[in-house]
A and B are shown apart, each in its own frame.
Chain A
Amino acid sequence: MRTKLDACLDSVNQVLLGKEAQVRLALTCLLARGHLLIEDLPGMGKTTLSHALARVLGLSFQRIQFTSDLLPGDILGTSVFDKDSGQFVFHPGPIFAELVLADEINRATPKSQSALLEAMEEGQVTIEGATRPLPEPFFVIATQNPVSSGGTFALPESQLDRFLMRLSLGYPAQAAERALLLGDARRDLLPRMESILDHAELARLQAQVPKVRASDALIDYVLRLVEATRSQPQFAWGLSPRASLALLAAARAWALLAERDYVIPEDVQAVLPSVVGHRLRERADPTGHGGGSLVQWLLREVPAL
């Protein structure tokens, strides 16, 4: 089973070159049943990553390009009158896929954004009075572009909190970029990818995540981390209990990916930047972008043992 996970990673890494850490984190996020926010410049491989993940995990994939005139109905779907049967027939929107890529989520109006975010939180959508469950599993990978913010609606902190992780891909290393330039086009590679896991296997893996052992000593470490964000003066506000749950879940998934059935502090540290980075702000700069230096402080100063 775990070898299959490694095969998944390998497969994605062949498409998205030189981003092993980010790919691993993205897979961690999906295993922990979390949604992922990828923040980077255009053309860094955000779409390729999501598409490749959908392929190897055997998930149906839909992409929604968020624009300022996107309406909630465009995401969720609408009922259309069918002349033949004389009835309204529901036409499901792109949200009814197992892996949804919400591209440039910050370009849409808050109304459309919240339609997506509610669906993420509830696992179901209610349209015209009828509640319709979303497929299982259901992942959202949202992307946003941190530059050229004109005419965008930045996600508020409360909605950032719904994403388990925030990742940034970053420029590829030179060797990776050379391989990229010499190799085939990514668009051609993607359809050739084979699905490695089926739904049942994925569900089993996801069910294993909560069973990964987190000892008292490890829980103490998580508590120390959370407590530090709540008591130290440089933090504008502390982490919520949802954040500490997310941190533990991500650490468990990371440990599972590392083929361990128990969590060690290094697992927590590995996922800490992407899990809490978007949930923290510096006191000196509460409207700023995020807590990169705060996370580094946590990693350095909070006793791990």
Chain B
Amino acid sequence: MSSLPGIPRIALTWLLVAQVLVIVPHLVHLPLWMIALWLGAAGWRVQIFRMRARYPNGWAKGGLVLLVLAGILLSRGTLVGLDAASVLLIATFTLKLLEMRTRRDALVLIFLGFFCVVTAYLFEDGILAALYSLLPVTALLTALVGLQHSGFAERPWPPLRLAGGLVLQAIPLMLLLFVFFPRMGPLWSLPMPSDKGVTGLSDSMEPADIAELSRSSALAFRASFEGEVPARGQLYWRALTLERFDGRRWSQSSYADVPVAPQWSKAGESLDYSIIMQPSGKRWLYVLDVGEMAQDSGRMMNDFRWQRLRPVDRPLLYQVRSWPEAAREASAEPPGLRQALQLPEQGDPRSHAWAAELKAKYPQSDALVAAVLQHFNREPYVYTLRPQPLGRDSIDEFLFDTRRGFCAHYAGAMTFVLRAAGIPARVVAGYQGGELNPNGNYIQVRQFDAHAWVEYWQPGRGWRSIDPTFQVAPERIEQGLEEALSAEDGFLDDQPFSPLRYRELAWLNQLRMSWENLNYGWQRWVLGYQGEQQLKLLQNWFGSLDWQRLAIALVGTGALVIGLLALWLLKPWQQRPDPQRQAFRKFERLLARHDVRREAGEGARSFALRAARQLPEQAEQIETFARCFEQQRYAGGPASRDALRQALSDLRRALPWRLSR
């Protein structure tokens, strides 16, 4: 074996296969030139193996690195951030091929490959992605096994078989760790790559915003109810309220961030449900009014929305109990109420005039609200996702000229009119409805279910929610966006392959539902299995348990298992005490300090001869000890520990004192 063992053919082959498998799931977010980079690097490496090419020299490698950096800068615009960093990681993973000379380099590459497999989970953590990652892991293990084979081994399958066996053997351990290993919170929060990709609700609303959003069929969250699933028309998932209006744009008021829970009182039946939320990159959670949940899931803010301390950057499971009929801030005037009356200083004169007219006609708030709703119902308003652009007095133009718009238009206009008539009101943004999956009895809410509605406040009755969109397009609320847009071919027409477009095919729909169900289970039971849920399950099994005890138990069990294994392997009870061997070990240690080390296969006599040659001044003592040892151990002389000890201490005295070499 030379000091720089090369990389066997089989290991190289498997390494290349593994690299392809590792890179494939990343392709979705990688720039296309990475494929060319990999092909080039792999081709080069194979030519090196065939001795048709040389390893690149330092200049070539430096140039390649600069080229890759420039490429990332061009295609991503930055070198920092998760997205660019992952491209950089894959690029290094690829380029490392070109300086893979020794087994050690190959090991580095393989471990880097494992890391790349893990980073793929940042982008996709579905069940398919998880199952797929078994492939690159197996291939990497195979390369690892192949690396230990001789360079003459011809057949590529034995390492694969061994690696497959290893993966299978690891499964029970994996399950065990999955169930018991405590999930630690992240040490820091990464800016998710999905920040720009995930279309979520934003914290402001300019009617053009939601038109974009409504067409995305990405999943927002899933909700499963413990009892009956309420009717679609009652599912108003609150995310946040928008109180400030500047004439064009609705946004959150600064007052809404005060973490003072508003006053409310429970009434009627409660609804229990749990929600698995997709990463949104935002802090708010989705609840039905009025929601209640465990303190560590989030806090209720002063506008009844629920919010977490950190943005939701990975799937999140939480349990909610809602009281749909609860009275909200009914007994006293809420402290921030004047926010709900704020209007721009000027603009929209026609709406102001109409509001004043209504106010004169209907002194009662309820009657006025009913009149506005009726107005939306009677007049020729059109629900569409392609409204005309509005000019400076956007409310006026919408109410009296165009009369075409979607929920944001209606909610915004209605809130404006109510405020102008002196009734405190605000826009609520969230999701409405969702699709019931009959297989799993849960509701899936997608981004196109995003919605905006209105709530207004009355003394003695508190906040009440109303939905002006319902007056215009009741089918939007009762059947969903798809029905509401049946006249208009706007629904998902930018996503020709979305299975949601083909709902009329029954079998396809069935298939889709089953698939969604599987994914739901994955989210619910695998990805969602952490924190509270894990603790609950373990408590079910082992009674009262908290994290400290779990950690102690885990460490204890681990130590016990390792200890038992060590006992079983070493069998200390079978080892008889061997004073001669111990003395000889001391002799070895003593000489090792003087740089004379025994080889494993070296006998006592030959070692002593060699040591005597290297330390000629102490040759006599060394030989005395060796002779004494040999006499006792092989010649059947009387076993005397003292004689050995004496010879050893003679030698120690003769040697110059040294603690270590």
Contacts and interface: CB of A to CB of B under 8 A. Distances in A.
B605 A300 contact: no
Given A217-B634, A264-B605, A304 B600 contact: yes
Interface string A261-305: 111111001000000000000001000000000000011111111
Contacts of B636: 213, 215, 262
Interface in B557-609: 580-581, 584, 599-606
A41 interface: no
A300 B598 CA distance: 11
A303 B636 CA distance: 21
Contacts of A266: 603, 605-606
Given A262-B635, A284-B152, A300 B630 contact: no
A18 to B, nearest CB: 23
A300 B634 contact: no
Contacts of A260: 635
Contact of B634 (A218, A269, A299, A302): A218
A262 B584 CA distance: 19
B646 interface: no
B150 interface: yes
B461 interface: no
A265 B152 CA distance: 35
A305 B634 contact: no
Interface residues of B, number: 18
Quick one: which of A218, A260, A266 has the most chain B CB within 10 A? A266
Nearest to B636: A213
B473 to A, nearest CB: 75
Nearest to A214: B634
B613 interface: no
Contacts of B599: 300
Contact of A215 (B603, B605, B606, B635): B635
Contacts of B581: 305
Interface string B453-487: 00000000000000000000000000000000000
A265 B633 CA distance: 11
A213 B634 CA distance: 8
A50 B635 CA distance: 33
Contacts of B603: 264-266, 269, 304-305
Contacts of A304: 600-604
A265 B604 contact: yes
B634 A263 contact: yes
Quick one: which of A217, A218, A305 has the most chain B CB within 10 A? A305
A264 B600 contact: no
Contact of B601 (A261, A262, A264, A302): A302
A265 B607 CA distance: 11
A302 B600 CA distance: 6
Interface string B475-514: 0000000000000000000000000000000000000000
Contacts of A215: 633-636
Nearest to A283: B150
Nearest to B599: A300
A305 B599 CA distance: 10
Interface of B: 150, 152, 580-581, 584, 599-606, 630, 633-636
10 contacts: A215-B633, A217-B633, A217-B634, A260-B635, A265-B603, A269-B601, A300-B599, A301-B601, A303-B600, A303-B601
Q: Top 4 A-B pairs ranked by shortest CB distance?
A: A265-B603, A262-B635, A304-B603, A266-B603
Given A265-B603, A302-B601, 7 more contacts: A260-B635, A263-B634, A264-B603, A265-B605, A269-B601, A269-B603, A298-B601
